[in-house]
Each structure stands twice: as structure tokens, then as C-alpha cells.
């Protein structure tokens, strides 16, 4: 199903990035219960049927694969990453942070990123606490702005390609000692 993307982007308040395997658990439903509209997307083709079924809920849109995820981040007020299982560093967390979005994520979602909870990202591990954190951010623009700015600064500092490539080159080609 194709959506009118420009119209859809106008409606986004919360951008949910679920796992392809987990679905979205109850996070979207809890947020919806507090009156927060949500757009859920899975980056990649063939979203799990549980994720597709969420489109039956008013205010939830499942986009499936998108060519460019940046417009969705840009349109959103908050990035929500409710992963209960995660392998490796989650680029979706770093992408949202790099787009200056406040992020609500699980402990698993931020593993390996080394972001500081309550400074760079809000971390919650239950659907109810997740919904509370999202609701808190929706009601407090100053907090959204502060977390988003801190998140972007963190990503630019820690994940700068130029700086990290210099470190990598140093490991591959250590300075010659005389």
C-alpha cells in the first residue's frame, strides 16, 4: 500500500522504529492511549504481519520500505525505538540522534552506543514507562529541544568519520618509532 508521503509527514508526532522481528509490542498502543498519534515504519521490505496489523488502529501508519528515511525523521518530534532484542549497534538510534531528535529507547537499543540516559536519550524498558516518556516529551518542547541538541552533538563528536578513520589508520599503521 502506497501512502501520500507529503500528507503523511505532516501528521507525524512520534516516529516509531520497531524491529522487523518483534513488532512494536505495546509501546504504540500505550502512546495512543495517551492521545499521541504515531507513525510506525519498518525500514526494509515485507514488514512482519503483526506490524502490518497495526494499521488497523486509527493514527498508526505502516509504511514498509522507504527509499529515504530522513524525511520521516525530519517530520517527527520524537524518535521511539522500543527494541527488546538487539544485535550490535543500532543505526536507527544513531540516525535519529544525528537528525537532532529526542530519542526514547530501550536499554537493548542503546547498547554499544554509550549515550548517557537523560542527557542524550531517554531509556525505558516497559511499554508503560515508554509511553510516559513519550508523553512527557510531547508536552515539553524545551526538553525535546535540549535532548535533541545533546543527541546530535554526541553523535557528531563520537561518530565523526574523519576522527574515527584517523584512529583506525593509527591502528593499521602505527607511527614508526626510532
At CB < 8 A and 24+ separation, what contacts does 129-133 make? 130/27, 130/30, 130/31, 130/80, 130/82, 130/104, 130/106, 131/27, 131/30, 131/31, 131/33, 131/34, 131/36, 133/104
The answer to whether position 167 is within a domain reads yes
The answer to whether position 125 is within a domain reads yes
81-130 confidence digits (pLDDT tens)? 887 766 656 788 999 999 999 999 989 889 989 999 999 999 998 877 88
If pLDDT is split at 50, 70 and 90, which confidence band does 43 have?
low
The answer to whether position 178 is within a domain reads no
Q: Where in the sequence is the domain holding 77, given as residue range(s)?
A: 5-172
The answer to whether position 117 is within a domain reads yes
The answer to whether position 90 is within a domain reads yes
The answer to whether position 156 is within a domain reads yes
The answer to whether position 177 is within a domain reads no
User: Which domain CATH number covers 36?
Assistant: 3.40.50.2000
pTM of the full structure: 0.76
**Number of structural domains, the chain?**
1
Amino acid at each position: 500500500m502506497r501512502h501520500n508521503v507529503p500528507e503523511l509527514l505532516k501528521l507525524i508526532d512520534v516516529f516509531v522504529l520497531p524491529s522487523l522481528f518483534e513488532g512494536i509490542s505495546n509501546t504504540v498502543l500505550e502512546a495512543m492511549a495517551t492521545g499521541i498519534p504515531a507513525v510506525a515504519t519498518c525500514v526494509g521490505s515485507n514488514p512482519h504481519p503483526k506490524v502490518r496489523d497495526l494499521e488497523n488502529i486509527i493514527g498508526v501508519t505502516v509504511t514498509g520500505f522507504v527509499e529515504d528515511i530522513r524525511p520521516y525523521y525530519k517530520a517527527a518530534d520524537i524518535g521511539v525505538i522500543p527494541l527488546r532484542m538487539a544485535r550490535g549497534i543500532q543505526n536507527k538510534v544513531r540516525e535519529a540522534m544525528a537528525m537532532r531528535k529526542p530519542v526514547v529507547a530501550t536499554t537493548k537499543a542503546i547498547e554499544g552506543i554509550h549515550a548517557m540516559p537523560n542527557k542524550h536519550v531517554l531509556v525505558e524498558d516497559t511499554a508503560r514507562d515508554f509511553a510516559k516518556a513519550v508523553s512527557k516529551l510531547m508536552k515539553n518542547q524545551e526538553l525535546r529541544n535540549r535532548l535533541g541538541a545533546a543527541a546530535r552533538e554526541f553523535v557528531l563528536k563520537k561518530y565523526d568519520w574523519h576522527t574515527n578513520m584517523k584512529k583506525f589508520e593509527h591502528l593499521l599503521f602505527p607511527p614508526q618509532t626510532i
